[in-house]
Amino acid sequence: MNNIKSFLETSLLNLEKVQITTWDLFTIVLALLLVFFVFRILRKVLKNQEQRGTIDEGKSYAILQITKYLLIVVVITYILDTIGIDPTIIIASSAALLVGVGLGIQHIFNDIISGFILLFGRPVSIGDVIEVDEEVGRVTEIGFRRSMIITRDDINMIIPNSKFVSEKVVNWSFKNRLTRFHLTLGVAYGSDTEKVRRILEEAAIEHPEVSKEKQPFARFLDFADSQLTFDLLFWSDNIFRIENILSDLRFSVDKKFRENNVRIPFPQQDVYIKETPDKK
Number of helices followed by number of strands (H, E) in the chain? 8, 8
Least confident stretch, 101-115, 117-131, 174-188, 214-228: 101-115
The answer on 62 and 98 residing in a single domain is: yes
Provide the pLDDT confidence category of residue 66 given band limits of 50, 70 and 90. confident
Integer Cα distance of 83 and 28 in angstroms: 9
Instruction: Check which CATH number belongs to the domain holding 139 and give it.
Output: 2.30.30.60
Q: Is residue 271, in this structure, part of any structural domain at all?
A: no
The answer on 86 and 128 residing in a single domain is: no
Tell me how many domains the chain contains.
3
The answer on 200 and 110 residing in a single domain is: no
Provide the pLDDT confidence category of residue 12 given band limits of 50, 70 and 90. very low
Burial class of residue 59 in the structure, from the number of CB atoms within 10 Å of its CB (0-12 exposed, 13-18 middle, 19+ buried):
middle
The answer on 92 and 55 residing in a single domain is: yes
Q: Which of 31-40, 65-74, 160-169, 195-204 has the highest mean pLDDT?
A: 195-204
Q: Is residue 269, in this structure, part of any structural domain at all?
A: no
Q: Is residue 265, in this structure, part of any structural domain at all?
A: no
Domain containing 142 equals 124-171
